[in-house]
């Protein structure tokens, strides 16, 4: 006979937090949202932590290098989508790691015999406005000059004109020797009013650039998430089929953390994938797994060696796995059970495995509920897909700007056969839809508002950290009529504004 759960599973919208005592210290500016990203042993610090509890979903329509940079500036992590060629995904990871590193290896390089047409094409291809001109055209060749937007005017010059004729030559550049500290480099930039400072070795070879914008951005993004080399932290999605080729390429490109992307994670395929990574890299390569919705699934992946575990099946706004296959569980119930299993595992083994709530976030307060229920961070797709930095097109639909958004299990992404486990050559059914979401503007502005709500609610519960919220939170199930009571009711709203 099948096993039957005695209680129905619940969603986040069926819960409310009951306020607790708030001391005078409980003000939003005192709240820390720092949270572990990967597992750690009792008494030790995790190898990777985040400054905010948000990661972006492993989706074509959400997480590319542009999104990864924007989210890392805020203190979170993007997992660059894996439903693309290994080379393209590795290139995205590499662009994130090279974007900001204090000392940045030049990403745009030409020889002096290149033309203005080459300059224009290179800038359009990678977006960098500073181009190093080296004798051999490499990132570390002998520096002979630099080209920036100030060195040419497309309307006044022939595209056949040689770079050597309009570049700023080496003798007119302000440079610094190899060994210069980042502080010294920034001082030189300020003293000489530069946008970039080339670092050269004793033979005149280009070593790296230091950019003025990196200093400015650090001051305006105090929570930005950096690695030991002051590059942005970035994640990448992998699958259970081509991991033997994809993982080494992503590791070589500099990915800080990987995550197996699947609609259901309680499988031998995932344990095989983790085993491959552990055999080849030991614990140096961090990999998350999932998705699961119960204690058994958590225990299986934790024992397999996962560094964090994702929770949620069918709760995403574009996911129709429950509708198509009849599997899944209400997201709140799934988080509560897995969090309990995580805590029991920690008591037994002394190893804390962070858990991620993936899906089911409709309103900002659902993030706070998920954290209170025990998750360490949330993965969001629809939320991030609305922003300027997402990879999709901004389109005008019925008088409003919208962004395209589609699921990894949709027909639009089906050519990658994400759900193929052998057998049929093509995906025979879809588990996601293709749709539009309202355009919401810049990520920075929206994340700031969302997290201000989270911090404020935590203060209402008397908590200044996420672990403190989890220990102090009091949660209550609500009835259908109390949900109605919670919104505006029995009045005529003058100006309904969407939040």
26 is catalytic: no
C-alpha 285/C-alpha 280 separation (Å) is 9
CA-CA distances (angstroms) from residue 65 to 80, 208, 232?
A: 7, 21, 11
* 250 neighbors 91 (Cβ within 8 angstroms): no
C-alpha 60/C-alpha 79 separation (Å) is 10
Both tokens of 80, joined, read: 């660059």
> Could you give the 3-state DSSP secondary structure of residue 121?
helix
Both tokens of 284, joined, read: 């140096």
Peptide bond into 291 cis (omega under 30): yes
Both tokens of 119, joined, read: 């300059």
* 403 neighbors 436 (Cβ within 8 angstroms): yes
Catalytic residue among 26, 319, 356, 378: 319
Q: φ and ψ at 232, to 5 degrees?
A: -65, 140
Using a 10 angstrom Cβ sphere, with 0-12 exposed, 13-18 middle and 19 or more buried, the burial of residue 39 is buried
C-alpha 267/C-alpha 422 separation (Å) is 14
Query: Angle between the 86-99 and 243-253 helix axes, to the nearest 10 degrees?
Result: 20
Q: % helix / strand / coil in the chain, to the nearest 5?
A: 35, 20, 45
Catalytic residue among 299, 382, 418, 455: 418
C-alpha 270/C-alpha 283 separation (Å) is 16
* 119 neighbors 154 (Cβ within 8 angstroms): no
Describe the strand order of the beta sheet including 196-200 as a list of residue ranges. Answer: 176-177, 196-200, 206-211
319 is catalytic: yes
Q: State the catalytic residues.
A: 319, 418
């Amino acid at each position: 006979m099948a096993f039957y759960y005695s209680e129905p599973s619940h969603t986040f919208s069926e819960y409310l937090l009951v306020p607790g005592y708030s001391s005078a210290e409980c003000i939003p500016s005192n709240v820390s949202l720092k949270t572990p990203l990967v597992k750690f042993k009792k008494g030790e610090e995790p190898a990777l932590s985040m400054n905010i509890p948000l990661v972006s979903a492993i989706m074509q329509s959400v997480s590319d290098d542009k999104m990864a940079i924007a989210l890392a500036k805020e203190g979170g992590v993007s997992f660059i989508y894996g439903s693309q060629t290994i080379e393209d995904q590795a290139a995205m990871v590499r662009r994130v790691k090279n974007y900001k590193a204090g000392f940045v290896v030049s990403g745009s390089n030409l020889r002096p015999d290149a033309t203005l047409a080459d300059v224009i094409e290179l800038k359009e291809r990678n977006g960098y406005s500073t181009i190093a001109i080296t004798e051999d055209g490499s990132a570390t060749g002998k520096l002979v000059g630099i080209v920036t937007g100030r060195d040419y005017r497309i309307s006044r010059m022939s595209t056949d004109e040689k770079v050597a004729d309009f570049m700023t030559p080496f003798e007119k550049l302000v440079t610094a020797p190899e060994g210069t500290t980042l502080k010294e480099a920034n001082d030189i930039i300020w003293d000489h009013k530069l946008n970039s400072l080339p670092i050269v070795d004793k033979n005149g070879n280009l070593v790296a650039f230091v950019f003025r914008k990196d200093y400015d951005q650090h001051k305006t993004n105090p929570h930005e998430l950096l690695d030991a080399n002051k590059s942005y932290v970035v994640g990448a999605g992998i699958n259970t089929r081509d991991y033997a080729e994809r993982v080494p390429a992503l590791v070589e490109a500099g990915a800080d953390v990987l995550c197996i992307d699947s609609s259901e994670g309680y499988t031998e395929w995932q344990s095989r994938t983790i085993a491959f990574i552990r055999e080849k890299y030991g614990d140096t390569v961090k990999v998350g797994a999932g998705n699961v919705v119960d204690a058994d699934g958590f225990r299986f992946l934790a024992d397999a060696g996962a560094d964090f575990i994702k929770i949620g099946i069918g709760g995403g706004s574009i996911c129709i796995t429950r509708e198509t296959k009849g599997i899944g569980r209400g997201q709140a119930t799934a988080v509560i059970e897995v969090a309990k299993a995580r805590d029991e595992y920690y008591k037994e083994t002394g190893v804390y495995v962070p858990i991620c709530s993936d899906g089911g976030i409709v309103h900002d307060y659902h993030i706070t509920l998920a954290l209170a229920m025990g998750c360490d961070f949330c993965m969001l797709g629809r939320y991030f897909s609305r922003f300027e930095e997402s990879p999709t097109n901004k389109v005008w639909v019925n008088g409003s700007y919208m962004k395209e958004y589609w699921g990894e299990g949709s027909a639009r992404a089906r050519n990658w056969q994400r759900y193929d486990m052998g057998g049929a050559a093509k995906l025979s059914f879809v588990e996601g839809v293709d749709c539009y979401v309202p355009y919401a503007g810049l990520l920075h502005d929206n994340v700031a508002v969302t997290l201000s709500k989270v911090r404020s609610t935590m203060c209402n519960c008397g908590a200044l950290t996420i672990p403190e919220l989890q220990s102090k939170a009091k949660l209550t199930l609500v009835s259908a009529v109390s949900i109605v009571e919670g919104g505006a009711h029995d009045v005529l709203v003058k100006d309904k504004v969407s939040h």
